[in-house]
Chain A
Amino acid sequence: MSAFVIIYYAILLAVSCLAAYFNQRTIFLAAFSLTLVSFVLGIVGGVPALRFVAISAVVLGAAAMISFAFREFLIVLAPKELAKELRTAPLTAAFGMFVIFTYAVAAILAPWIAPYGEAQVVTSAFAPPDSNFLLGADQLGRDMFSRLVYGTRNSVGLALTATTAAFILGASAGLLAATKGGWLDQILGRIADVIMSIPSLIFALLMLSIFGPSVTVIICAVAIIYAPRVFRLTRAVAGNVVVMDYIEAAKLRGEGTFYLIRREILPNSTAPLIAEYGLEFCFVFLLVAGLSFLGLGIQPPTADWGSMVRENATLISFGEITPLIPAAAIALLTVGVNFVVDWMLFRSSGLKEQ
């Protein structure tokens, strides 16, 4: 029995005892059941299994602590109204905000953070990680870490632009349809139906093979694919607002459509739209990454997470995790954004009052 195992069980038992002593029911249950599970795990999987459990626990704990600290930071920095809202944020949302914040920093400060250029060949192909190349090198000998940092800028930037474009397109069409109604509503609705009936990946592939894989084409294709979903949501949300008496009052006053949308309808439908924005961002991001993986996204030598996975895919068969790192970066951002969106949906749905 190694020292690690002894310390492992000692800590678990100590936590259980302390929790029991201070009458912390949930903590006690968690710690004690983990102890019991660990006995079985230890017998079946041996020390590595226990080590895995310990590392997961430490990582989770660290994430929780970072989230907590980050939330407290935000509360101190934010203005009073916002701080009050932030105080109600669950740890998961704080974690999501922290992830988004980290990615934003990486994207904005990429040239200063990355030790090498994104297309610079600095060492031999597939060089293993060392003190100079934190994550090793790719198939041409470029620094993985630098490319990952630059990739944030390219992949996230592209997804953000495409989502925003989809939103501008879909939301303005939805608001117009809800406000004007009648034939305009019908026409826009049918157009949306037609676009939605085409499988999205096939549509994107078609567009990209017709017009060639440039950034503009990607943005346009993605915007057209995702605009109908935004259109539907916006139309539904705005549809509930346009029937209110204050809209009637504004119409009777003689206000134009633009004023109605901007001052009367939009302020009352922002919450679900923002949540939808976050959600759509994840889908767009995955679609863009998928296109890159197929070789139709951002073209080399520009660093992009999707294409980085593809370029290094051969390493998988040698048991290397290098190609999985960009994939993990994608997964982490998606999870983070979803955590924040969950919190926003929770707030806007009024569930907190129950």
Chain B
Amino acid sequence: MSKKDVLLKIRNLKIQGYSNETWVDIIKGVDLTLHRGEVMGLIGESGAGKSTIGAAAMGYARDGTRITEDSTIEFDGMELTTATEEERRALRGSRIAYVAQSAAASFNPAHKLIDQHTEAPLQYRIKKRMEAQEDAVDLYRRLRLPNPEEIGFRYPHQVSGGQLQRAMTAMAMSCRPDLIIFDEPTTALDVTTQIEVLAAIRDIVDQFNTAALYITHDLAVVAQMADTIKVLLKGEEVEEAPTAQMLDNPKEDYTKSLWAVRSFTSPQRYRPTDGTPPLISVKNVDASYTGGEKVLDDVSFDIYEGMTVAVVGESGSGKSTTARVITGLLPPSKGEVLFKGEPFPPDYRQRSREELRQCQMIYQMADTALNPKVRISEIIGRPAQFYSGLRGVKLKNRVDELLDLIELEPSQYYNRYPPELSGGQKQRIGIARALAAEPTFIVCDEVTSALDQLVAEGILRLLDRLQDELKLAYMFITHDLATVRSIADEVVVMQHGKVVEQGPKEEMFTPPHHPYTDLLLSSVPEMDPNWLTTLLEERGVDNVGDAALAQISPDDEKVAGTKV
């Protein structure tokens, strides 16, 4: 079994979806060749057809789609398009395995991990139950899960997200498949956890010489994982090349544009020196949800007019809770929020209209932030009507003006509904709704995390332009440090509900860092294909993710400094 054996051969793959009473091509003739032990990265924006191709590699077409008859999918000499459902099913789990994006949603919460792990080997009668369990423990150990002997006997909700994702990889490995399809396995994870999972996946794929299709939209991640990279755009292949070659000199314009997106940076702005009070000032705020533990612990920071303050941290660090305190959705249990030096009523119901309009919010999920049954004109027009009392022609003019501002053609979008728009367009509408109130301060809660890089880039540029034109202040909540680098003026790093470090961007991105900031910064994948290897060598394999977090010593000079 040499490494050059072809394992998966897809020729002229066309997949059609049924919409508006006709069949439309989603995948327009893609060829793919995967050898044994080779890892291929599939990258592209959402809607490029990455996941659809991944599923097709298992001979599977989602409901409402079909694989056309002239496509061929050959897996280890077996033609999947003409195989019976039974034959295809026999392959899945045993010879082709699948690792889904959200392990938390993919595990059955009612069964223990190890029972789900051993299901496939038992079903295919490859191993006896005890044998399979021993093997599972072995795999957990190889994937560096803590307490490999015991962790399998927990239920999915008792295990953290990163561990769950590794347990899922172990499960995919349970029958020693020839091919694993990874569908965005680390997208939902924090940067520090992501490293653990990446390192674990890379090792195990290497150890068993398994071929893999690695689907992601994150270039830096794919650079670490893949031997070859295939770039997709709208169901067509843009180009394919070995990783190093692809990174050094991409041929097509589209690929180059993907590589270039991280180049945008807004110029650094500074605090006014004439002693004007900050626009928003969070002072010693403690907060907790009803009856729960303290989520925020003595949080203080200032946001000055026209500046962007990025609040960074992992999930659960209290970033969004801080935003809820400022907007008044969660009154703090201690401390206060000042607006231009004056105290802001803690509960939004006690705030006057004028106070409410000053502070607007843009949400992470544009899908749930816009009412699907209301026209765009009303979504944007309502705040203008509500706060400024605009009516009739004036209101229409204002909506047109706002649509112009967010670079959407008014006549085209005026009467449409949110579900008819793409993700980026929806997010723009969300921005327009915030702007319609003519605020001085906007909370942006992970506004770009649900978007593709190119689209996110456009949103960031738009926000930056609007900031200059309208003198807006932003509180930018994000876990993505690349976003921070491009848009922030000041950075606040949060961990476990506390502010661990804050300061101007320039300072924050130059050493010496607070150890937590340092961990965050060094965990962001870089485009260099050797980044992960180097990092693991520097830190040691066992010192990533949770382990590294635990090692931050409280006596560190910088840690002690922020405690005061």
Contact = CB atoms under 8 A, between A and B. Distances in A.
Interface residues of B, number: 27
Given A252-B327, A268-B373, A353-B63, A246 B348 contact: no
Tell me the interface secondary structure of chain A in the complex.
helix
Contacts of A255: 386
A277 B291 CA distance: 40
Contacts of B104: none
A245 B356 CA distance: 17
Nearest to B437: A253
Contact of B361 (A244, A252, A254, A268): A252
Interface string A240-278: 000011101101111100000001100110000000000
Contacts of B161: none
A253 B356 CA distance: 6
Given A267-B371, A268-B371, A249 B363 contact: yes
B433 interface: yes
A354 B62 CA distance: 10
B78 interface: no
B69 to A, nearest CB: 21
A264 B372 CA distance: 9
Contacts of B64: 353-354
A353 B372 CA distance: 18
Contacts of A268: 371-373
B329 interface: yes
A254 B371 contact: no
Nearest to B351: A254
A263 B353 contact: no
Nearest to A87: B21
Interface string A117-136: 00000000000000000000
A268 B373 CA distance: 6
Given A253-B437, A254-B356, A244 B348 contact: no
B171 interface: no
Contacts of B369: 244-246, 249
B370 interface: yes
Nearest to B370: A246
Interface string B352-381: 010010001101010011111110001000
A128 to B, nearest CB: 54
Contacts of A244: 368-369, 371
B421 to A, nearest CB: 14
Contacts of B329: 248, 252
B356 A252 contact: yes
Interface residues on A, range: 10 to 19
Contacts of B348: 251-252, 254
A118 B519 CA distance: 87
B44 interface: no
B368 A246 contact: yes
Contact of B373 (A253, A267, A353): A267
Contacts of A264: 371, 374
B368 A245 contact: yes
A137 to B, nearest CB: 53
A50 B371 CA distance: 58
B289 to A, nearest CB: 15
Nearest to B328: A252
Nearest to A263: B374
Contact of B353 (A246, A254, A267, A353): A254
B332 interface: no
A46 B434 CA distance: 79
Contacts of B373: 267-268
Nearest to B382: A253
A245 B363 CA distance: 7
Interface in B497-548: none
B62 to A, nearest CB: 11
Interface in B340-357: 348, 351, 353, 356
B371 A253 contact: no
Nearest to B324: A248
A249 B329 CA distance: 10
B420 to A, nearest CB: 13
Contacts of A254: 348, 351, 353, 356, 386
A248, A252, A255: most-surrounded residue (chain B CB, <10 A) = A252
B361 A249 contact: yes
Contact of A354 (B63, B360, B368): B63
A246 B368 CA distance: 6
B359 to A, nearest CB: 8
Nearest to A88: B21
A264 B353 CA distance: 19
A267 B351 contact: no
Interface string B15-38: 000000000000000000000000
A75 to B, nearest CB: 14
B227 to A, nearest CB: 38
A246 B63 contact: no
Contacts of B383: 253
A338 B365 CA distance: 38
Nearest to A270: B373
B386 A253 contact: yes
Nearest to A254: B356
A263 B386 CA distance: 14
Contacts of B368: 244-246
A264 B386 CA distance: 15
A122 B209 CA distance: 95
A267 B363 CA distance: 21
A249 B382 CA distance: 11
Contacts of B370: 246
Contacts of B356: 252-254
Interface in A311-354: 353-354
Interface in B453-489: none
Contacts of B378: 263
A245 B433 contact: no
Contacts of B433: 249
Interface string B382-405: 110011000000000000000000
Nearest to A267: B373
A248 B370 CA distance: 10
A244 B369 CA distance: 7
A245 B327 contact: no
Contacts of A354: 63-64
A246 B386 contact: no
A258 to B, nearest CB: 13
Contacts of B353: 254
Contacts of B437: 253
A54 B372 CA distance: 51
Contacts of A251: 348
A353 B383 CA distance: 35
Contacts of A253: 356, 382-383, 386-387, 437
27 contacts: A244-B368, A244-B371, A245-B363, A245-B368, A246-B368, A246-B370, A246-B371, A248-B329, A249-B361, A249-B363, A252-B328, A252-B356, A253-B356, A253-B383, A253-B386, A253-B387, A253-B437, A254-B348, A254-B356, A255-B386, A263-B371, A264-B374, A267-B371, A267-B373, A267-B374, A268-B371, A268-B372
Given A244-B371, A246-B370, A268-B373, 15 more contacts: A244-B368, A245-B363, A248-B361, A249-B361, A252-B327, A252-B329, A252-B348, A252-B361, A253-B356, A253-B382, A254-B386, A255-B386, A263-B378, A267-B371, A354-B64
Interface of A: 244-246, 248-249, 251-255, 263-264, 267-268, 353-354
* Closest CB pairs A-B (n = 3): A267-B373, A245-B369, A246-B371
